[in-house]
Structure 1
Amino acid sequence: MRSHHVSRVIAASPEAVYDYASDVDNLPRWAAGLAQAAVVREGDSLFVESPMGRVEVRFVERNRFGVLDHDVTLPTGTVVTNPVRVLSHPDGAEVVFTVRQIELDDDEFARDIELVAKDLERLDQQITGTDRPRP
């Protein structure tokens, strides 16, 4: 299994980025690779309609370290752990998302990496209110 780190620097404080990204109600606004409609809460579980079908998402508890790790249970029952960090950066905050090649061929893996990059670009646009191109 391969991993690939996708990152995006956002011109906002790490706290502002973390607060926005950790609010699950914001997922459909920026994380189209995961959530294509509103988050559905069933008890302690979160469900979203994704490009892969209906999936369950479990985030780590809010924390002061900028950790946004989350497990996604696919329709196949496979659980994919997605490490995500919001780090301090000289220009604001850097979001680093680790994409893992689980149950994906090389083309699907490359497509997932591209989708995550687009999601982080949308996150940047949502937070900063800009439509700046990727560096």
Structure 2
Amino acid sequence: MKSRHLSTVISASPDAVYAFAAAPENLPKWAAGLAEAAAEVREDQLVVASPMGEVTVKFVPPNDFGVLDHEVTLPTGAVVANPLRVLTHPDGAEVVFTLRQLDLSDDDFDRDAAMVEADLARLKSILENKPA
């Protein structure tokens, strides 16, 4: 199984990036690969319409370390763990998403990587107030 670390540097404080990315109402604004519409909060999970169908997302509790790890339960019932970090960077913040191939073909893995990269670019654009 392969892993790929996808990242972008954002000219904003790590606290601002974390706060924006962690807010459930912001998911559809930047994480189109995960959320197509507003997330519904059910107990300690988010339920979102995604390109894969309805999925549930459970984030780690809010923390001071920039950790936004989350588990996505797919319509099939499979659970995918997604490490996501907001790190301090000399130019602001670096957002790092670890993508794992699991049982995906190489083509599907590349497609998923492209979707994550698009999401990270959208997050950067929003937080730097630049057009996507």
Counting only pairs closer than 5 Å after superposition, residues 85-100 of structure 1 correspond to structure 2 as 85-100=85-100
2:41 match = 41
Matched-pair contact (CA < 8 Å) for 2:45–2:59: no
Counterpart residue type for residue 53 of structure 1: G
In 2, Cα distance between equivalents of 1:43 and 1:88: 31
Q: Once the 2 structures are TM-superposed, how far is the Cα of residue 39 of structure 1 from its aligned partner?
A: 0.2
- Residue 44 of structure 1 aligns to which amino acid in structure 2? D
CA distance, structure 2, for counterparts of residue 104 and residue 6 of structure 1: 17
In structure 2, give the amino acid aligned to 1:23.
A
**Following TM superposition, where does structure 1 have runs of at least 4 consecutive aligned residues deviating by more than 6 angstroms?**
none
**Do 1:60 and 1:67's aligned partners in 2 also have CA atoms closer than 8 Å?**
yes
Aligned to 1:18: 18
Percent identity at matched positions?
59
In the other structure, the counterpart of 1:128 is 128
Q: Is the CA contact (8 Å cut-off) linking 1:80 and 1:102 kept in structure 2?
A: no
- Are 2:6 and 1:6 aligned? yes
Q: 2:57 aligns to what?
A: 57
Gaps of 5+ in 1: none
Partner of 1:102: 102
Aligned-pair distance for 1:131? 3.4
Count, aligned residues:
132
C-alpha distance in structure 2 between counterparts of 1:112 and 1:30, whole Å: 15
TM-score for both structures, normalised by structure 1: 0.94
Deviations 1:69-125 (Å, cap 9, x if unpaired)? 000001111110000010000000000000111231111100000100000000011
Q: Which amino acid aligns with 1:55?
A: V
| Alignment deviations for residues 2-60 of structure 1 (CA, whole Å, 9 cap, x no partner) | 11000000000000000000101100000000000110122332111111111010000
Contact persistence 2:41–2:47 (CA under 8 A): yes
Task: Answer with 103-112 or 8-17: which moved more.
Answer: 103-112
Distance in 2 between residues matched to 1:14 and 1:118, nearest whole Å: 20
Q: For residue 56 of structure 1, give the secondary structure of its aligned residue in structure 2.
A: strand
Query: Contact conserved, 1:72 with 1:80, CA < 8 A, in 2?
Result: yes
How does the TM-score come out when normalised to structure 2?
0.96
RMSD: 1.0
Report the equivalent of 1:118.
118
